[in-house]
Amino acid sequence: MGIKDRVKSEVQKIIARGHQVEQEVIAFVRDDYKKTLDDVGKGMNTVRETTSEYLSGVEEGLNAAGHKSEELLQKTAHALVDVARELCNKSLEAAQKNAHDAKSSLNAALEKVQGPIDNVDEKIKKRMQDAHSRLTKTSEAGKTRLKAVGDGIDAYAGKKKDELSDSANAALHKAADRSMDLVQKLAKSTEEQNKKLLSHSLDTVAGWLAKLADKVKPKD
């Protein structure tokens, strides 16, 4: 069973039970969409299509059960953005902690050798490089996923333009725009984190960190 049909079926079951329909639909969406994103991976096209399919499944489930609610569809779109943001934040927090732990190890090693960066054990320098690379990749993956979720909502809204009210269509595009705002905030936050991570009071170490940053910079 595909994503749309599975979501449609679950929404119909929730409505059939008739208890706190709105809350239960959103709770199901948040939990299931999170698992689905973990399963389908982070490819932009895949996430975009998955997001659009999810909204279609909710809409069809509501319609099939005679529960037409554009407001619930709009809340679903925002829930999808929230899930993507939460997944991104969780991954980033782990990557940031790893990076700061690596820098603490580097500083401890510099204190121990009381000399230039070249005297620091290669394993410690490699750990710093790997940690920064992981942080960079995690940030890029998060931005890609958030953008894909927004694109998926936009794609669904465009496909249903003639079937939805103007207010519902505008609300869906607003949810997509919110996803793009989060991409910009993530980019800014990552830049600030990198400045802290790659700064150092010793010029020689600061220069090494700058070269490390260039080495793991994502290719355009």
CATH, residue 37:
1.20.1050
Residue 65 lies in a domain: yes
Rounded to two decimals, the pTM is 0.88
Residue 102 lies in a domain: yes
Note the pLDDT of residue 44: 77
Of residues 132, 146, 147, the one with CA closest to residue 215: 132
33-46 residue pLDDT tens:
999 888 666 567 88
Instruction: Round to whole Å and give the CA distance between 5 and 19.
Output: 22
Query: With bands split at pLDDT 50, 70 and 90, how would you rate the model's confidence at 200?
Result: confident
What is the mean predicted confidence (pLDDT) over 140-160? 94
The mean predicted confidence, pLDDT, of the chain is 89
Of residues 96, 132, 130, 125, the one with CA closest to residue 108: 125
Note the pLDDT of residue 218: 66
Q: Residue 203: in which H helix or E strand, if any?
A: helix 203-215
Q: What is the biggest distance separating any 2 CA atoms in the chain, rounded to whole angstroms?
A: 74
Count of domains in the chain?
1
DSSP string, 79-148: HHHHHHHHHHHHHHHHHHHHHHHHHHHHHHHHHHHTS-GGGS-HHHHHHHHHHHHHHHHHHHHHHHHHHH
Residue 220 lies in a domain: no
Neighbour tally for 137: CB within 10 Å: 14
Note the pLDDT of residue 216: 67
Range of the domain at 146: 3-215
70-118 residue pLDDT tens:
899 999 999 999 999 999 999 999 999 999 999 999 989 988 888 778 8
15-36 residue pLDDT tens:
998 888 899 999 999 999 999 8
